[in-house]
Structure 1
Amino acid sequence: MATKPTSTATTSVPQKLQSQKHAITEQEKRIEEVLSFPILLSDQISEAVKESESFKFECSEVGKKVERLCQMLRSAARLASSTTAVAPFYDRPLRRIATEVSKNLEKSLSLVKKCRRRSILRRVVIIVSATEFRKLLGLLDSSVADMTWFLSIFEAGGAGGGISLTLPPIASNDPIISWVWSFIASLHMGQLQDRIEAANELASLAKDNDRNKQIIVEEGGILPLLKLLKDSSSTEAQMAAASALHNLANDGERVRAIIDSSGVPIIVQVLGDSSMKAQTMVATLVASMAEHCHLAQEDFARENVIRPLVTLLSFDLFMDDTRLKIGKQSIHSIIQINKEMEKKNLYKPGFGSSLSMHYSEGSSKGGNHRKDRENEKPDVKLALKISCAQALWMLARNSVPNSKRITETKGLLCLAKLVETEEGELQYKCLMTIMEITAAAESNPDLRMATFKTNSPAAKAVVDQLLRVIKDSNNPRLQIAAIRSIGSLAKTFPARETRVIRPLVEQLRHNNQDVMAEAARSLGKFACPENFLCVEHTKTIIDFGGVPHLMKLRGNEKMQSHGLILICYLAIHDGKNEDLERAGVLGAFEGVDRTVIAQHPELKELISQAIYHLSVFHQSHSGLLAQRQF
């Protein structure tokens, strides 16, 4: 942008507000109204040139340049009036250029008027120099170059001539803005290949830095990108648009800009009815938007994005697994309901067919894409599933309603199966999605009781896979996610379900401190007073040898605090147990580092209660200082 930035220190708040108000007013004007002012100025200058008496040659040169500018402004006005829905007129650069042109024309009119016939006194008072004309002619040359550049990008776009990367004077201090203008103009008016190239260029610019992202959004890049995303005739176009939008969507404000442009319904529609490669990019876009904006989580949920995501994630999954046939039937029944709702106009037209594209044949595009999917390469299918799992993870994060929606689409069965059969990123992201759903269930009793009932096939499948990962995996990040999920479900397990506690106790001696700390934290949820079966779970933890493992905990403060909290619960609920006495728990409490208690104030009361319960049953040892363990 060629305009000089205003110093914050020298601009008052009222001036800033007035400037912002003026900018908004200018944007609200039709572009024809914006252009009418400099055109009127041009006519006035032409008349003033005819009346000039001094500096007639210079005034004539000004008149020639102004006449050329006037012709260009009229050409731009004709372009604007010929706007169509197919190729809408992109006026952002023209508005900026017209503002600069108007300033230069006002200076021209003022200078030329000084050269008209005046009295001798006025001639003495008003002195005009050749230097002023040289400066003015230079400004007019810049305006001519700006208008030439603007008209060139429209001629290139209209003729399919591609993207203009020349630099107009108005953008000499900020070349990026001229490139953004050119790319966006090409998105509006170019041929399909030019639009794809422009979207890829914008994606590249957006990937560089946040300032570029902000310029693209401010200069109106989102709407044409969304329009290109809707172009179902070209997978390459949809991928280019999704890539550019994804690179923009790493900030809450920019995500809201996409939402305000009605982007969510478009994204969901494309996700349900496009090629597998395009769906992969769109699912990644959904994940990014949901990650950075809670409003996006809600809007995507309202547009039912979770069902197509689960459907895509379960592609080629239900065929060979008898345990998941219930899930298939349930999803099929949901699809039938969606079709009925579509007939009643409760869903957007075509949305029901997009959801059923994997399970029913038909003449819709979804049915055609289904054949393409079956022939896709395994790595393409894997990439799609990874993107869908990432999207579900971000949608479920800190969201009870979305977690509930995932469970209602039988998503838990699908996630459990993928955790069992897959590895790498897909397995990890499925585990993280389960972790978010279980965290939501921990905070919401209704979701917990409805989804994780003891006799629920989905709940059993999930718990089985979580326990398998805890016991068999050698990847700490997978184990931590699984351990945390089991801990979140602590209130759902009956006393007889001891199989979930043993693996957690065994992880107390893991060689990774974070795994040990997470195991202690999850066991604490079984033994905490808020758990109705805390006494029974406490006895199980002790019976499985939890106390000796806890007494050996060394290392970082986080691990130490979780271990202390857990052993306090054990002492409070089963203080008479001889394992606690043999391990020297009472003496260990007396040797707790005061800094740990200072950082975790709740420990002070817990340790006092634990010492009291232990002293009641082990009075002979109450005054002994055992070896310092914590």
Structure 2
Amino acid sequence: MGEGVKALLAKPIKLADQVAKQSGSGQCLRPECKDLRARAEKLAEVLRQAARAELYERPAERIVAGTLQALGKAGGMSARCFESHSRLRRFLTFNPVSGFPRTLALLDTAIEDVAWLIRISSPRADADANGADDDADLRGLPNIAQNEPILFLIWDHIARLHTGSLAVRADSASTLASLARDSPHFSKLIVEEDGIAPLVKLLKEGTDDGQEAAATALGFLGRDEGSVEKLLHAGVCSVYSAALKEPPMRVQAAAAEAIASLAHQSPRCQDLFAQNNAVRHLVGHLAAGTIQEHSRYSVGGSSTRHAAPPPPEHMRSLHSVVLASTPSMLPGVSGYSSNEPPNSSEGSNGRNNQTQSAAAGRTTTSRVTAPPPSRPQLSSNGSSGRGPRETEDPATKAHMKAMAAKALWKLARGHPGVCKSITESRALLCFARLLEKGDDGAGTHLQYYSAMAIMEITRVAEHNLALRQSAFKPSSPPAKAVAEQLLSIVRKGEYDDLLLLPCITSLGCLSRTFTASETRVIGPLVRLLDDREPPVAKEAIVALTKFACTENHLHVNHCRAIVDDGGARHLVQLVYLGDELQIEALILLCYIALHVPESEEVAQAGVLAVLLWASKQGQLVQDLRVERLLSDAKGRLDLFQSRGSII
């Protein structure tokens, strides 16, 4: 609601009074002038009433403009009747009677539009004490919105966000979220009509339904750079980060999904979310119930510090093996804290009462439901003990994890700072665990988002030495866990599986982290070259090229492993028949010829012949990468292989 609109009303009020005065003059002899005067007086009345109200600015500007146009025509009609000419000249003046009905209709339209503006800009007087609003139906369609009814619908619901009860505001936010989801045009209209501010306010102060709807709607509004800038100016990053800390979980999930959407649209959002500790809270939701070493993601409260360690889990999974090789945390140290204070009942008791409180808490918990001893229960902020998280249904928990993984994926894309925060929080172990088993109702979506997050982190690590050395050093248990799961998925080689392509990409980006003895990675990638779908084969070739390129300090070992696993034979076929794969396969063959030209398998596969053939193909040698490598590769093969070995 804007104060600036009231200044706009001064001119139409003055003009309406002038029209009423001229039309009511005794010099106006036509009976239509009386109707004109009545309309002008009515319009002046509703305009003064509007000046006393808190108006919704966006429709007010359009309605004032239309009112001025109507009053301008009415003033022209009344002025012609008011001019002091002789009686004969007044009757001969061109002022057709047919113009009056049209002018009167314009004034009626202006009156209706101003009355509608007052209705939507004012709280309902008949709303009951419980916040129920009888104003469930649309409050009339203004004439100004006849050509674009959806604009009226947006105006009406934005006005409800300002003036309605909490229930009405939640319903309007849900409607705006649906409109923004359906069309980018509707989303842009909501932003242009000042719908961001009331949605942000509802996200801060509304009911659970209202906060969820507001979080969803704001996430759909960031469809372009201009809209994202307005969202950032409204402070949505800090509001979303705060929403991740407070239950209920469905609001947290909606906030996480919106974070993913905004981070996808703008790199600035990545920075602001990182500054507001969104990464910490997202990792906390991802870790809750996923791994046992949850205190790295949670509040360092007394319940976490003094809780007894859970009984050991049987060594039946990768998760167990990794945890067994990870040093346990020091007692009394919080590895990943939150802004939430410890439970007040625990903080107020002294050291002597902590044991009794813990024992009483365990007794009370056991009466309600006994959690399995192998997994400590986590609250919504990641701390142990029964909390709001335990009251959530499994589907909501699974959806929360999926949205947290999706948000981390989008935040990590091309951002070294976020990737560093994620890897330092040991979230890699969470991703490895989720890739291994998924999670309840989230299924493939959670695994896919986890795989994409790993892919983005490894892409950044490929070009960031510090991140690569800290997060993916060969002795790191989380790095081992991630590599093991990536290899497991690549070994299966199921193209219908959404996880295959990002896992191949991740292995290629990690090519510089594998040791000389780690040759088990090459074989699964080489097998993907044999009669595979083009996207899979291309991604496998790109990954193998990162192992074989000169920048990889173990390129000779990797090239020899590729040849030993039959890669040269597959690549020769792809250069001849691969169509869109020709250039990528030829580049990898050039690296193999440069680094292991003495190999008998290379000679038997006919690599020199295919290089000679490729040098005569214009569409291949035009690529700058091929032009740089091809001549050197032919020279090396000519030097090391005899003519007799060429097939």
Structure 2 counterparts to residues 352-363 of structure 1, below 5 A: 357-359=381-383
Contact 2:555 2:595 in 1 (8 A): yes
- Given the alignment, which residue of 173, 182, 199 partners 2:173? 199
CA RMSD of aligned residues (A): 2.8
Q: CA deviation at 1:555?
A: 4.8
1: CA distance between counterparts of 2:493 and 2:396?
26
1:264 matched to which residue of 2? 237
2: CA distance between counterparts of 1:445 and 1:355?
36
2: CA distance between counterparts of 1:427 and 1:94?
50
Partner AA of 1:397 in structure 2: R
2: CA distance between counterparts of 1:410 and 1:540?
32
- Given the alignment, which residue of 184, 204, 209 partners 1:210? 184
Q: Residues 129-176 of structure 1: CA distance to partner in whole angstroms, max 9, x if unpaired?
A: 222222211110111111222233345745332342522111111111
Partner AA of 1:445 in structure 2: L
1: CA distance between counterparts of 2:338 and 2:261?
30
5+ unaligned residues in a row in structure 1: which ranges? 1-26, 81-88, 341-353, 362-369
1: CA distance between counterparts of 2:29 and 2:182?
51
Partner AA of 1:221 in structure 2: G
**Quick check: 471-480 or 402-411, which moved more?**
471-480
Tell me, yes or no, if structure 1 residue 291 matches structure 2 residue 264. Answer: yes
Q: Residues 46-65 of structure 1: CA distance to partner in whole angstroms, max 9, x if unpaired?
A: 33234341344322211211
**Quick check: 30-39 or 177-186, which moved more?**
30-39
Contact 1:48 1:116 in 2 (8 A): yes
Q: CA deviation at 1:599?
A: 5.1
Contact 1:222 1:245 in 2 (8 A): yes
2: CA distance between counterparts of 1:137 and 1:47?
16
Q: CA deviation at 1:526?
A: 1.1
Contact 1:158 1:189 in 2 (8 A): no
2:219 matched to which residue of 1? 246
Partner AA of 1:95 in structure 2: E
2:373 matched to which residue of 1? none
- Given the alignment, which residue of 126, 142, 146 partners 1:172? 146
Q: TM-score, normalised by structure 1?
A: 0.84
Structure 2 counterparts to residues 204-603 of structure 1, below 5 A: 204-231=178-205, 234-319=207-292, 323-324=322-323, 333-336=334-337, 357-359=381-383, 371-422=387-438, 423-472=443-492, 474-475=494-495, 476-509=497-530, 511-553=532-574, 555-592=577-614, 594-598=617-621, 600-603=623-626
2: CA distance between counterparts of 1:332 and 1:556?
57
Partner AA of 2:605 in structure 1: A
2: CA distance between counterparts of 1:355 and 1:373?
5
Identity %: 36
Residues 408 and 507 (structure 1), Cα distance of their counterparts in 2 relative to 1, 3 Å cut:
same
Q: TM-score, normalised by structure 2?
A: 0.82
Aligned residues: 568
Q: CA deviation at 1:126?
A: 4.6
1:83 matched to which residue of 2? none
Residues 166 and 145 (structure 1), Cα distance of their counterparts in 2 relative to 1, 3 Å cut:
same
2:45 matched to which residue of 1? 71
Q: Residues 567-595 of structure 1: CA distance to partner in whole angstroms, max 9, x if unpaired?
A: 21111111111111122211122223714
2: CA distance between counterparts of 1:38 and 1:139?
14
Tell me, yes or no, if structure 1 residue 136 matches structure 2 residue 136. Answer: no
Residue aligned with 1:502, SS: helix
Residues 152 and 63 (structure 1), Cα distance of their counterparts in 2 relative to 1, 3 Å cut:
same
Residue aligned with 2:334, SS: helix
- Given the alignment, which residue of 145, 151, 167 partners 2:112? 145
Residue aligned with 1:272, SS: coil
1: CA distance between counterparts of 2:577 and 2:393?
47
**Quick check: 463-472 or 179-188, which moved more?**
463-472
Q: CA deviation at 1:435?
A: 0.5
Partner AA of 2:20 in structure 1: S
Contact 1:487 1:525 in 2 (8 A): yes
**Quick check: 298-307 or 161-170, which moved more?**
161-170
**Quick check: 54-63 or 563-572, which moved more?**
54-63
Residues 511 and 116 (structure 1), Cα distance of their counterparts in 2 relative to 1, 3 Å cut:
closer
Residues 403 and 328 (structure 1), Cα distance of their counterparts in 2 relative to 1, 3 Å cut:
farther
Tell me, yes or no, if structure 1 residue 111 matches structure 2 residue 133. Answer: no
2: CA distance between counterparts of 1:177 and 1:589?
64
More helix by percentage? 1
Residues 167 and 337 (structure 1), Cα distance of their counterparts in 2 relative to 1, 3 Å cut:
closer
Partner AA of 2:429 in structure 1: L
1:48 matched to which residue of 2? 22
Q: CA deviation at 1:541?
A: 2.3
Contact 1:229 1:241 in 2 (8 A): yes
Contact 1:229 1:238 in 2 (8 A): yes
Q: CA deviation at 1:437?
A: 0.4
Residues 377 and 596 (structure 1), Cα distance of their counterparts in 2 relative to 1, 3 Å cut:
farther
1: CA distance between counterparts of 2:268 and 2:337?
29
2: CA distance between counterparts of 1:145 and 1:180?
19
1:18 matched to which residue of 2? none
2: CA distance between counterparts of 1:307 and 1:355?
15
Contact 2:431 2:451 in 1 (8 A): yes
5+ unaligned residues in a row in structure 2: which ranges? 127-132, 293-312, 314-318, 342-377
Contact 2:249 2:380 in 1 (8 A): no
Contact 1:153 1:163 in 2 (8 A): no
Residues 125 and 324 (structure 1), Cα distance of their counterparts in 2 relative to 1, 3 Å cut:
farther
Contact 1:52 1:112 in 2 (8 A): no
Q: CA deviation at 1:248?
A: 2.3
1:9 matched to which residue of 2? none
Contact 1:327 1:410 in 2 (8 A): no
Partner AA of 2:507 in structure 1: I
Q: CA deviation at 1:284?
A: 1.1
Residue aligned with 2:205, SS: coil
1:5 matched to which residue of 2? none
Q: CA deviation at 1:440?
A: 0.3
2: CA distance between counterparts of 1:181 and 1:39?
24
1: CA distance between counterparts of 2:410 and 2:552?
29
1: CA distance between counterparts of 2:542 and 2:81?
87
